[in-house]
Structure 1
């Protein structure tokens, strides 16, 4: 079994790392500033804690919130490969003779699983209802495999999880089908975090573009200037990129304010839809800003920016990889349907 590569916060409490991989702060350039890998690792931690806050029983909250307050981290084990769509689940939570609950299945892209103490596992019960089973990563039958090989977001710990007759505490099973029923903000909150990560990638790339152009880039000879930062065409492009970034950041902040305003209120279908569409708008803008700015970085900085020693391509690789999460083309569809025909979007975990 291959597990997390730094100390377990809630069990061993050891200061020694559990294996010898390079620390994240040395994996993406010289500074951890704006590292989207670090931002994505706890994404599921926050999302599944929100599910507990919304629908968890007092006992579930007492047990798991207590673990988290003691330092534990939760990761997801939700996505599966080879299914018809990303929403199809084959992992089963079944009751054996005698009443014992067990999990069996294969999960992939389990972000943060290598660093986690608990897994939030999506599974279907005997009535084909979606459940979340909270399982300690050191439970017999759990194997977390360090096999994520994406071109970007390389240090998110998004390995595979093999579940072989894993015993489950029945007190730690949450009805996900109930969480996602009726008007809810669960999906919008999860999507807002993804939008913030994309905006952060864009901001980090723009900051590095400024640094490289000011320190390393040479002006194009036709510009007739002494510094690349004085080239009017480069200045024009930085103005455009700044506008794209600030628009994305503003939309993320606005969507967050809208979600906060609805917190702990009795939601109507219109409230939930409005919040989801606000987050969808932010996600579209952040997605586009991240892709545009991480690509334009090389355009404004010149040939030297492509050198591996600068590792600037990490921004584009991270953006291109992370923005594949929940395609924005469908968010555009929901916005268009609502604006043109007044249709409310379906409530689910990806909107």
Structure 2
């Protein structure tokens, strides 16, 4: 059973402690593509899937800012393990925004009992991210039958429930909760991305899977009012990218001290005393600090919008998240690449697997284009145009 953290501070401390253990074998797991079943189990036991369950239902009920800190810490330990809870919290948020009291009570109890959610969102061959073509047939009793295939289903290999997005006959999006061990569910470990190699982001096939009405949530209702639902999901992605940058900077520092050689003309005994290396490392550290600062600002804005759900607060939270997302993208890519220049040729040794940070950053930052974040931020700051309400901001 999970050990429920008593406070946000305790949750962050547990995440940091677990991350230190994750970092020890992170490079090996990535190189060998060893799936992190034990590591995900450790997340569960530490209560790190329970964090946004409200106190009224027995959970810690922590806010967005603290959850972002948890994700940054975990991802700094292992980027793949850090991403696995992202979809879980995304769907806990679906329940918060669109579930009934009965649905929230049921699934919160599931979480507190040690079970968590995976995702089945993406489909191939569709025109937009919101075109869900999977079969979603309505039955006379209000249930639905799922039939079809989802791809890039992060975390499903480790999950107890798989949450599926599907559109009804009128094109409205619903979320369906399906037990991962349902006989009609077939999970394939076929993810072959160059980064985030152990996230379990494979293919899931649904063969005439009946979903009872009580496990269906009308996601489309979220966007009928001012919301920060999409911003929350993007915020967690920003925390993951920030964690990747933190990990790259940490490993860069270690290898500059243990592996790098100073150039002869510097006259110093250690590469860490080379002024050019110090200046270069300072530039990378600045990017990480900026990403962390913007992430905290975004977390505060989300918490404000949650406490006072006005149109102004929702727009500001979405803009703040867009800024954090754009900066974390730059930080993850720049730092994971820049540390190589400061270490030198030895950094390219495949046995070090230092390049996993860049591969992870390049793979994860492809989720949503940075250019759109800048467009939304610019429109808000220049013309007071709020970001769109589409679940993707």
Choose from 245, 248, 259 the match for 1:205.
248
TM-superposed deviation, 1:29: 7.6
TM superposition shift of 1:103: 0.7
8 Å Cα contact 2:133/2:167 also seen in 1: yes
Residue 83 of structure 2 aligns with which residue? 40
Q: Which residue of 85, 98, 116 corresponds with 1:55?
A: 98
Deviation at 1:270, TM superposition (A): 2.1
Query: Closer, same or farther in 2 for the Cα pair 1:99/1:275, shift >3 Å?
Result: closer
**TM-score normalized by the length of structure 2:** 0.80
Kept in 2, the 8 Å contact 1:41–1:112? The answer is yes
Please name the residue that 1:185 is paired with.
228
State the alpha-carbon separation in 1 of the partners of residues 140 and 116 from structure 2.
32
> Is the aligned partner of 1:92 residue 2:135?
yes
Question: Unpaired segments of 5 or more residues in structure 2?
Answer: 1-24, 33-38, 40-73
Contact 1:103 1:168 in 2 (8 A): yes
**1:129 equivalenced with 2:172 (yes/no):** yes
Could you tell me which runs of 5 or more consecutive residues in structure 1 were left unpaired when the two chains were aligned: 1-22
Q: CA deviation at 1:56?
A: 1.1
1:284 matched to 2:333:
no
TM-superposed deviation, 1:60: 0.8
State how far apart, in whole Å, the 1-side matches of 2:77 and 2:221 are. 35
Aligned residues: 328
Deviations 1:34-90 (A, max 9, x none): 211111001010110111122211221122111111111101100111111222211
Partner of 2:46: none
Determine if contact 1:109/1:159 at 8 Å carries over to the other structure: yes
In 2, Cα distance between equivalents of 1:100 and 1:55:
17
Q: Give CA deviations for 1:196-229 in whole Å, capped at 9, x if unaligned.
A: 1111100110010110010111111222211111
TM-score computed with the length of structure 1 as normaliser? 0.89
Specify which structure has the higher proportion of helix.
2
Secondary structure at the counterpart of residue 332 of structure 1 = helix
Deviation string, structure 1 residues 161-213 (Cα, Å, up to 9, x no partner): 11121110111100010123221111111111110111110011001011001
Superimposed CA distance per residue, residues 252-310 of structure 1 (whole angstroms, 9 cap, x where no aligned partner) = 01110111122243x22222111000000001111101100000011101111111111
What's the RMSD between the two structures over aligned residues?
Answer: 1.9
